[in-house]
Amino acid sequence: MSPWSMVAPMPTGRIHFDGPTFADEALARGATLAAGVSLERPVLLYGAPLRLASVVLGAYQHVRQALRLDAFEALALPIVRRTTGGAALWGGQGVIYAALGLLDASALMKCPAGRILNRNVRGALTGLRSLGVPTNYFGRDFLSFGAEPGVYVGWDQSDDGKVLVEFFVALDASFALPDALSGYPQPAEPAFRGKAPTTLHASGKTRCSADQVLAALAGGYAKAFDVQFNAQPPNDDERAQADALASRLRVNPDADDGYCWSKAHDEAIGFVTAGVRLDAAGRFEDVRLGGDFFQHRSCAPRLADRLRGALANADEVGAALDSVYASTPGLVEGVRSLRSLEAAILDAAGKARAAGTR
């Protein structure tokens, strides 16, 4: 056997960068193009500087708990929801959005369960360091300029194994949600390990444009993983899909579909909550988990299916959580114990029963 047959082929990537783009449009284009990766082109990099102002919710956050909606009424800020999990962010001018799409978690390098960010942010680290910024990943959901958070990162994995990693790079505006807009209580542990988020420009190491940052990210993945990128803008079908998705990502904070929601429970990288609907017999009709965690996309429908029709008690909830999350490692990140998810579901079920007796 030739020794060359043992060498992994150089991955081919598709790349497209837009000019200043509204957050909902950028998120939709990133997710749409990432879903189109294939065996022939297993890597996608999309990016755009964000324009104007908006707030970006994580995929699983309950809007009425994560945000102070009275503040939004005064500011008229649009709210959009991204495909990846994690915390609520500032998604407006001064922040650069980038989406990395992968055919699977190991498209760039072998990736053990639970290490999607650890393995796949390495190209971003290489690229940002090329700008003269000491960029590090200490775990959790952000990259740091030196020791201060400067890039928020989140992940999503679909049923077919495709991975989306999203980056929110603070160029000259922080990605962090202003405290006045957060609806959560004071956490037991400070956000971002107690470090104050910074920006690329405030780091004092460089003054560069959004285009230079995006080019550096592409160069980082090309250098770190030998990706050969080919530029290709979205075609008509992709643009139509992205436009349709953008409309679905816009959040109506008044829509809750009749769920009773638990209080916010502290967890590893933020909070978890649960929303439930019970039938007339007090059994689960539907269950939603909310919060700042990350999870495989299949988990939410599997948990709802597993609990539908079950009694709202600790035995049923614990067994359902174990069957969904404990069977395969790496399905959820940002949750230390499934018991916090159980507590949130039972809390919500108690509120739903109380509401039904009035």
Q: What are 241-258's pLDDT values in tens digits?
A: 999 999 999 998 888 788
Backbone angles phi, psi at 169, to 5 degrees: -90, 120
pLDDT in tens, the chain (358 residues): 333 334 456 789 999 999 999 999 999 999 999 999 999 999 999 999 999 999 999 999 999 999 998 887 777 789 999 999 999 999 999 999 999 999 999 999 999 999 999 999 999 999 999 999 999 999 999 999 999 999 999 999 999 999 999 999 999 999 999 999 999 998 888 888 888 999 999 987 668 999 999 999 999 999 999 999 999 999 999 999 999 999 999 998 888 788 999 999 999 889 999 999 999 999 999 999 999 999 999 999 999 999 999 999 999 999 999 999 998 899 999 999 999 999 999 999 999 999 874 3
pTM: 0.94
Backbone angles phi, psi at 106, to 5 degrees: -105, 20
Three-state DSSP class for residue 336: coil
User: Alpha-carbon distance 54 to 213, whole Å?
Assistant: 21
Helix 338-357, helix 314-321: angle, nearest 10: 140
Record the tokens describing residue 279, joined without a space: 């039938």
Q: Which residues face 152 on adjacent strands?
A: 142, 168
User: Alpha-carbon distance 285 to 351, whole Å?
Assistant: 14
Q: Which residues face 185 on adjacent strands?
A: none
CB 171 within 8 A of CB 142: no
Domains of the chain: 3-249 (3.30.930.10), 260-357 (3.30.390.50)
Region of 94 on the Ramachandran plot (φ > 0 left; ψ -120 to 50 alpha; else beta): left
Burial letters 132-150, b for 16+ CB under 10 A, else e: ebebebeebbbbbbeebbb
User: Alpha-carbon distance 256 to 328, whole Å?
Assistant: 30
Rg (CA), the chain: 21
Record the tokens describing residue 278, joined without a space: 């019970």
